[in-house]
A and B are shown apart, each in its own frame.
Chain A
């Protein structure tokens, strides 16, 4: 038999032991799942039987080798693999996978084992079975029981099993020290067992049995690390750098161009948008500047297109006015979040028109433009071609005939509709019938650019996030098709081509050039960034959410490759997944979630938002915004960990050393701390170089955690009261901690710039450049340096406050709306007044809905209407006006006729509501009332019989 396992996999030991007990000869083969040879292996270890059959479940193997019916044994076997193994994997995990809940779960499992072994010599009874082997082999690696207390029966059993010759033989082949649960990560393609949720037992707390950590981190520090830490901890006079007024790339230096996807102008950005693009890119750009790279950070708003035209119609403004209004909104929000753009521009600038038109000429000359005729509906009254969402008509599907089918889909039968197939189509704006016209459109010939693009993607994609690679590969796999780059609109960049005077460029050919035109607004030498001279290397980092990837990885590079003028192509596509709001989606129309301006209103500082969003950044997979998580991170990470450490260090220095950094004489303890800090520092630099912002925060927090642990074990407050020698020790400790605080201020700067500035002021220190090539902690503040006045950096977020915010942004929206209505109108109270208000509001909603499809526009009014209706309901109740649902509760005995009438009325109401809105939240309550009424009617009928 052959056991295939991976390096360090603890379950390999289990199979080896089982084989020894079954007296089977086996051969152990260490393999790698990434190896093409082993692509058929699903989970390691896998046992290959002599007949060639393969088994990957250790329990299946145990039952196969010891084929007997023993339910108790089987239960323990299953328990060990489905409960114990995942809990151990969670407990031993490092980094972001480490789970603080693992220890209590594991304690409970160990207690169960100990309880069982108190009453029975072996798990399944009086003799040793595969269950004992299975459990033992899980507890042995990583020394889980080392330091455990009050588990004597378990210990006895453990020793008894360990002494068995079969176990000893297995251990001789697979020494325990080589095994660790961390190796499970490479034992399957699912990333180990971390996806198995921890099952927290219902039983009460089992207390502390296992030691907190299997071995102390300090034991793992090598002499080289100590020596490196000692050598690096010296003072170097910081160099003076002149920040150039205009950043330009330089030959022979690292030049980093950072862009954030252009937010569309009429959307109010929510937290997901903010972390996905602007905030991520800002943190990265700030880091890049700290590391001394020539860094330019560009973004702006994307302003052209149908949606803007729409919004302009709805708000009775010109598109330009709409853009001006919303641009200010964006600008204000980003400014509040402390986003340090070098330039934040707009695609409606003249530079954009020049650059796009020039690019079009280049692409046209290079032969990458096709002309094709497309059939579209033209509204002669509005004098424009109608986009799908501007047409309504009768559904063309046989048997449906719904009169208000939209240009893309019929709401009644749900089938997709082609706008040109609608029967009796009508323009949504003016209600006249459009005519079918074929219009010529220009297409970019992507298939022609495809070979070049593929070649480029092959070597460029290494620097991209995984999702960007996958999405791009999916597009390339399907093969590229020509894309239409023109539209029959007015609000856009005119197409400079004969016969296309009335058309504008579509977003494909417009928005991405914004990066170039905004750079041009920043400097007239923009070409140094976008078409650098030979010898100058510009690295382009583009941040975006994953839905924007094809834009940046396929379409725009194709255009630039077609132009063939040596444009800077993206080296790093940093695409995030989506951020959800408390496990749902952000929705402006339903008022769910926190939007840019809301964050400001909460009174929570911008830096805390930045910190939280960066640590919840959806890297690798979707993540959720959660109020509780925000509070927890603020309170435990910022306040109790970072803030506590920094403040304690500074206050000790102020009170005991007269605000002067004391003499530092490093001993082994300090060197171990510095070595640990250097590990994290290296992790921080490596993460940020790859724009892994979440990991960066984790490393930063670990440094402060090490600092806290160090202070806690050294107890300088006791040493200060001791003899001269002890006081000197205390001086070293405080001196080192103040230096660490200064290091932390530097590392914190990209994430929390204003907090870092405050901390620098408290330290009376300057920013020091990070040395990315040699990430080691240095002496930043020499003995004798005077610090400033310490003060707490962070404030606690109380649960009551968080609950309040949770309610406010939780989507019911009523609270916010109530404030609106009560302040705007002098709240009508009597029934007649309310009825009038409801009618007026209803009229308003109908008008709005007729004029625009944009839910964001009419939804708030609908909410107002519903609110008014609710008030009316309440008022009617108090005036004892008959109202079906309420009355039903009051007197259970209503006549059948009464109920029938009520059912009919309510039914009509529901039909109307359903016809007017798709929003389930609106009509569901009414449906519930209806169902309730129907039930009563049934009961009444029965009673009448």
Chain B
């Protein structure tokens, strides 16, 4: 999801007042701050939030030009691929596999510190992760590790119950299936 709710959540993470967040006529998420200052678009809003924030994630996200560009591409990836793709069985499988591969050698999406990129992808992929069975979570171990690591942060989980990533489960007898 890259919608109103997620913008508010991320504003919370960054310790910034989200202002008024809603969808405009084009169904694009829009943020209104103060009198009439508006920002449109998920990624552009997140960048504006980061500029106002003093939090670790925001500072990291804007440290250099290179980092900024990389963070932005993941924000766009969250909007274009992760959020809508999670609802498509075929796309979601591929997404899980791709992220799992990515996290073989990384702890965070950009650099080696938490950035907006992690937050955006985290909330965008949340429902998909939630729907996974314990076996699937085990199959996407690297992705699960990244996700579990992020969700431990209080500013990330924001009081929601944590997803379970322990993989002790029981095998029954394999039974045949009738249709």
- Interface of A with B (CB < 8 Å)? 42-43, 49, 51, 53, 55-57, 59-61, 63-64, 67, 71, 74-75, 78-79, 81-83, 86, 108, 112, 188-191, 193, 195-197, 199-203, 261-264, 267, 273, 276-277, 302, 305, 307, 408, 416, 481, 483-484, 506-508, 511, 544-545, 547-548, 551, 577, 620-622
Contact = CB atoms under 8 A, between A and B. Distances in A.
A557 to B, nearest CB: 16
29 contacts: A42-B98, A53-B66, A55-B69, A56-B77, A59-B76, A64-B68, A64-B69, A74-B44, A75-B41, A78-B42, A79-B28, A79-B40, A81-B80, A83-B26, A108-B26, A190-B81, A190-B91, A195-B91, A196-B84, A197-B84, A263-B179, A276-B179, A416-B170, A416-B172, A483-B174, A547-B179, A551-B177, A577-B89, A621-B88
Given A190-B94, A191-B90, A57 B77 contact: yes
A469 B80 CA distance: 29
Given A63-B68, A63-B69, A508 B88 contact: no
B13 interface: no
Contacts of B85: 190, 195
A49 B69 CA distance: 12
Interface residues of B, number: 42
Given A59-B73, A63-B69, 5 more contacts: A86-B80, A191-B90, A507-B178, A547-B177, A548-B179
Contacts of A416: 170, 172
A84 to B, nearest CB: 11
Given A79-B41, A408-B172, A193 B80 contact: yes
Contact of B73 (A56, A193, A305, A506): A56
A-B complex: 6 closest residue pairs judged by Cβ atoms: A57-B73, A78-B41, A264-B178, A64-B69, A60-B73, A507-B176
Contacts of A189: 94, 98
Interface of B: 25-28, 39-44, 47-48, 65-66, 68-70, 72-73, 76-77, 79-81, 84-85, 87-91, 94-95, 98, 170, 172-174, 176-179
Contacts, number: 139
A439 B148 CA distance: 45
Nearest to B47: A74
B26 A201 contact: yes
A55 B70 contact: yes
Dominant secondary structure at the B interface: helix
A199 B73 contact: no
Nearest to B178: A264
A330 to B, nearest CB: 12
A307 B80 contact: no
A907 B25 CA distance: 47
A637 B178 CA distance: 36
Nearest to A262: B179
A53 B110 CA distance: 11
A61 B73 CA distance: 8
A528 to B, nearest CB: 28
B15 to A, nearest CB: 22
A71 B73 contact: no
Given A191-B91, A196-B80, A197-B84, A305 B70 contact: no
Nearest to B74: A57
Nearest to A78: B41
Given A78-B41, A79-B41, A620-B90, A112 B26 contact: yes
Contacts of B79: 82
From A55, A481, A545, residue with most partner B Cβ within 10 Å: A55
A491 B32 CA distance: 71
Nearest to A86: B80
Contacts of A273: 179
Contacts of A67: 65
A75 B176 contact: no
Nearest to A39: B101
A203 B25 contact: yes
